[in-house]
Amino acid sequence: MPRRHSYLSSTVGSKLLVGITGLLLFGFLILHLAGNLIVFAGPDAFNHYSHQLISNPLVYPAEIGLVLVFLLHAYKTIRLTFISRAARPQGYAIKRRADYTSRKSLASTTMIVSGLFLLVFVPIHIKTFKFGAYYQSTEANVRDLNRLVFEIFSRPGYVIFYVIAMIIVGFHLWHGVSSTVQTIGIDTPRVTPVIRRIGWASAIIIAGGFIAIPLWILFTGGRA
């Protein structure tokens, strides 16, 4: 146990934890988006989906596990950032080969900033929807979550805030997906470019999917 704890506390072990927790959060985002998109199918379908989800006895341990994964990912990422900056001497420079291609981008250089923003956004988002107003649907003991979603996304101010947040999520995923795969050891000249493209596509699809919902509600009122 002490050896395992020592490894997980090391820089290499911490990077591995960041990678694994990042993949778990990425998987959650895919599932969360898939569930949210059911809102396009109508109130009954969306309320039925949300009721089935919260009625599952496994939802509570899953939520606790998700929170722990999220906090561990944030803690290890912030810690690694500070360690990296402290270890880098002032005026630090690396001589690069002539054929060296930098992976730096706006997304990669703002990872810590986007991550800190999401650390603030997630509790606000949970409070707004999970612990927001409870409306009773026409079906007994079923929460009308669809009504709450439409109520919240009918407010231009919140929609702007949410859209900005999802753009930041997209930026975080833009670099995060490929970086995570690289961290866990899958980084070869043949595989890496493919993984990077998958990461870019995933970032656009996930952010775009989440953004589509509030814009549809705000501008059409949910009408087809």
- Residue where the block lists tokens 């979550």: 145
User: Which structure tokens are listed for 101?
Assistant: 């291609």
Give the model's pLDDT for residue 217: 97
* φ, ψ (nearest 5 deg) of residue 36: -65, -35
SS3 at position 136: strand
Q: Which domains does the chain have, with CATH numbers?
A: 2-85+104-220 (1.20.1300.10)
Residue type, 123: P
Please compute Rg for the chain using Cα positions: 20
Asked whether the beta carbons of 118 and 168 are under 8 A apart, the reply is yes
Give the model's pLDDT for residue 97: 47
DSSP per-residue codes, 12-80: HHHHHHHHHHHHHHHHHHHHHHHHHGGGGG-HHHHHHHHHHHHHSTTHHHHHHHHHHHHHHHHHHHHHH
pTM of the model: 0.84
User: Which structure tokens are listed for 62?
Assistant: 């899953």
Q: What is the mean pLDDT of residues 158-180?
A: 89
Query: 9: Cβ–Cβ under 8 A, 6 or more apart, which residues?
Result: none
Question: Please, which pLDDT band fits residue 169 given cuts at 50, 70 and 90?
Answer: very high
pLDDT digits (tens, 9 = 90+) for 78-126: 888 888 777 665 544 444 444 444 556 655 566 788 888 999 999 999 9
* φ, ψ (nearest 5 deg) of residue 88: -95, 115
